Amino acid sequence: MKPFHALPASLLLASIFAPAAAEPSDPARRLDPVVTTATPSATPLADIPMSVSVIGADALRLTDAYLGAEDVTDLLTGVDAAVANGTQVAFQIRGIGAVDHQALTPTAAAVYADGVYLATNVQTGLMLYDLERIEVLKGPQGTLYGRNASGGAINFISVRPGEGQSRYVRAGYGNLGRVDLGGAYGTAPGNGLSYRLAGRYLSRDAALDNTAGPVDAGGVRDEFGLRLGLLWENAGGGELLVRTHYEEENGVNAAPRNDSLALGNHEIAVAGDGLQDTDNAFYGASAEYSRALGRWEFASLTAFEGYGQQYGFDFDGAVALFGNPGLNANLAYDRAFRQYSQEFRLQTDWSGGHTLVGLSASADDFSQTYTIWCGVLDQDTLLGTCPYVGAGSRAGPAPVSPGTAMSLVTDINQSRTALAAFTHNEFDLTERLTATLGLRVTDERIEGHGGGRHVFDDGIVGYNNVGGLGLAFGSNAIDETRLSGNAALSYDMGPGMAYASVSDSYKSGGFNGEVQNNATHFASEGLFDAESVTAYELGYKARATDTLSWSLAAFWQDYDAPQARIFVNFPLPDGSSITSNSLSNLDAATVHGAEGEVTWQPASGLTLNAGLTLLDTGIDQVTDIGGNAAKFDGNPLPFAPDVSATLGGRYAFAMTRGVDASLAAHAKYRGDYYLDPEGLETRMQAGFTTLQAEAVFTFTDTGLSLTVWGRNLTDEDYALSGYGFIGYNTFRSDPRTYGVRLDYSF
């Protein structure tokens, strides 16, 4: 087996490489390898004892029609995304991952952009442009890079500066008034220096039809992004890559649908009071440095990420439901986030193995103001023109004002520091048998403080005091040190590799960041604990031939203290209780299943691929939570369809002299899944199939190409996520979209 090589220029998926193929007699039928960032030698994917999916260059052509990172789940089995509040994405990998719309906590699937960890689900819906590949690791991780994660990891890797880099401009137009512009330019002036500038602009009219108010409530896109990379290959005896990026979203987030309403596909019904323009800005910079230190390779990644965010919408649909303007609630978020991180790694090959050791440190700071009101909001006084639904019940048994409670304003600030040391080692026990051992120790401190208050119609402001348990302000801190790791045995069987592995990791606990009812919010009972996953896997990966590669895996995951957004009953001194929708912990869950992937090239220019994931998930609940343990016990985990399958292909051929063409299509089937852990049939999304397709015509002598594309060609209307308020509300998928694009490469 070849020695393991962790990436010197990326935190994530340090060991992932595509299948190596023997030189075929017919080069047109060769399965080209997908290779990660520059490494001393390429290791076949078939030699890596873990489940990994790589979306390479050909499949990424389909993503040119995508809007955000969540759309890539159309190309993957066992991976789905719960999307809320516009572009907040919580990726679910093999059923693991809390479906949550707050922004304080990391996601169960760690998401990286060019190796930089993105610490909140506000960042994970990143804009897609100028990508080289996407790498997906399935299962707990934390011994190679970045941060610990209970579900897996996804790394979005952009095109690097360098010699011979691609340069292009493109312009597209589609239905719903879609305009899509992009391009990339770079060169290498000499002396080991090169640069690359890439960007994208996207605008689109409302995708959903609002039957009860302004058109824009159906979701308007208006966004752009820029990325600059500078590479110096002779920087102090090593290589330095500096990247910086800036993206903006300036459209209108789509409002959810209240499922009590009788509406057609891709329809919502909300009043216009909550309509707000989105003002989101994302920015960051990173510096990667690597060099040889004797027989060791040294790598450093220094990064900063931040965002400012303002948006909101009508989130209950009550006006349309009851015809009563007083039964209405609109919300707005105002957020700011800063994140600093540093990682050092050393790795070396030695007789009979490979060793990597690393240190990482990060610090981030998050602040949020969350406002709920009814009617038209006065920006100076924060008063609406009517009391929002539920205002009176939160003001407390002895309100500070004799007036009427009108608007809710909640503030929270959270800071997090994390230090970790990790190691990943491979030992060649025999010529065919290899052992892998990784360990990580993480020390984390999370501090939070804030308060929830109401604004009364007489101008008085008072803290909430539901149930008379104390005023809703306070602070707390969480300190935690955790040891996690992984171990594997792999055996080279000649035509393929068999492996067995066990891995363990966790996702941090924390504070609930939205409505604060009383003093218990920052007390221990108001916090949620860390979740952890121990995963066992058996797999076989066939060595790629000229025309075929495939893999199979079976897995079992023990899921301890799963984080879930649920309705929790809190007891009051008089024996009654109140219900709060918050992030909490279930007792446990189990996940087991099987997975397979195959790529086949049966003829010159024709490539077919397929994937299948079978899941069986179940919640094990004994503790009385939400008033009834049986409400959850035995239910499947949310966003965990028992079947997900993909089937796709691409056919490239010479159409005429001077014109090459390629046709591609990719379908994904998702079985039934539930939107929350209560397992109610009314909150289940029935199974559905989506289809994406494109036709590309390349004029070989001109550098021009014309693409005709379509997404969700089956026009499925399905739930992206849901929550309860008055009735049950769901964010909806886009309808069928299609368009054309003209590219010029030079």
At 375-419, the pLDDT tens digits run 889 989 999 888 887 777 777 777 788 899 899 999 999 999 999
Least confident of 37-41, 118-122, 218-222, 710-714: 37-41
How many CB atoms within 10 Å of residue 359? 13
698: amino acid identity, one letter: T
Measured CA to CA, the distance from residue 9 to residue 162 in angstroms comes to 14
Task: Please return the burial class of 715, using the count of CB atoms within 10 Å of its CB with bins 0-12, 13-18 and 19+.
Answer: middle
Confidence of residue 321 (pLDDT cuts 50, 70, 90): low
The CA angle 315-513-247, to the nearest 5 degrees, is 75
pLDDT above 80 for 494: yes
Average pLDDT over residues 187-207: 96
At 553-563, the pLDDT tens digits run 999 999 999 99
Average pLDDT over residues 688-716: 97
Confidence of residue 107 (pLDDT cuts 50, 70, 90): confident
Which residue in 663, 669, 670, 665 sits closest to 648, CA to CA?
A: 665
Which pLDDT score is estimated for 34?
A: 40
152-158 and 109-113 as β-strands: parallel, antiparallel, unpaired?
A: parallel
Average pLDDT over residues 324-338: 84
Which pLDDT score is estimated for 427?
A: 95
Average pLDDT over residues 533-556: 93
Average pLDDT over residues 591-596: 97
Which pLDDT score is estimated for 14?
A: 32
Query: What's the pTM?
Result: 0.91
670: amino acid identity, one letter: R
Which pLDDT score is estimated for 667?
A: 98
Average pLDDT over residues 200-225: 96
Confidence of residue 289 (pLDDT cuts 50, 70, 90): very high
Using a pLDDT cut of 70, give the percent of the chain over it: 90
Q: Are 499 and 538 in contact (CB under 8 A)?
A: yes
Beta-carbon contacts of residue 164 (< 8 Å; ≥ 6 apart)? none
Cα separations in angstroms, 492 against 15, 49, 130, 433, 646: 17, 11, 37, 7, 29
The length of the chain is 746
Least confident of 28-37, 68-77, 95-104, 485-494: 28-37
pLDDT above 60 for 17: no
Using a pLDDT cut of 90, give the percent of the chain over it: 69
Token pair in block for residue 399: 């309100």
Q: Are 87 and 249 in contact (CB under 8 A)?
A: yes
Average pLDDT over residues 506-531: 90
At 18-39, the pLDDT tens digits run 333 333 334 444 444 443 332 2
Least confident of 383-392, 532-541, 728-737: 383-392
Beta-carbon contacts of residue 610 (< 8 Å; ≥ 6 apart)? 597, 598, 645, 646, 647, 648
Least confident of 206-215, 314-323, 581-590: 314-323
Which pLDDT score is estimated for 45?
A: 63
Token pair in block for residue 700: 């070989």
- Return the H-helix or E-strand segment holding 241: strand 238-249
At 136-151, the pLDDT tens digits run 999 998 887 778 899 9
Which pLDDT score is estimated for 325?
A: 61
Measured CA to CA, the distance from residue 243 to residue 195 in angstroms comes to 10
Which pLDDT score is estimated for 3?
A: 35
Q: Quote the mean pLDDT of the chain.
A: 88
Average pLDDT over residues 95-124: 89
Buried b (16+ CB within 10 A) or exposed e, 274-296: bbbebebebebbbebbbbeeeee
Q: What domains are there in the chain, each with its CATH number? A: 27-745 (2.40.170.20)
At 626-659, the pLDDT tens digits run 667 778 999 999 999 999 999 999 999 999 999 9
Please tell me which of 183-197, 535-549, 564-578 the model is most confident about, judged by mean pLDDT: 183-197
Least confident of 76-85, 498-507, 512-521: 512-521
Cα separations in angstroms, 719 against 255, 258, 311, 485, 728: 13, 11, 21, 36, 12
Which pLDDT score is estimated for 514?
A: 83
pLDDT above 90 for 337: yes
Q: Are 275 and 216 in contact (CB under 8 A)?
A: yes
Which pLDDT score is estimated for 320?
A: 56
pLDDT above 60 for 11: no
Return the higher-pLDDT residue of 743 and 35.
Answer: 743
Tokens 């994917």 -> residue: 45
Confidence of residue 723 (pLDDT cuts 50, 70, 90): confident
Average pLDDT over residues 301-323: 83
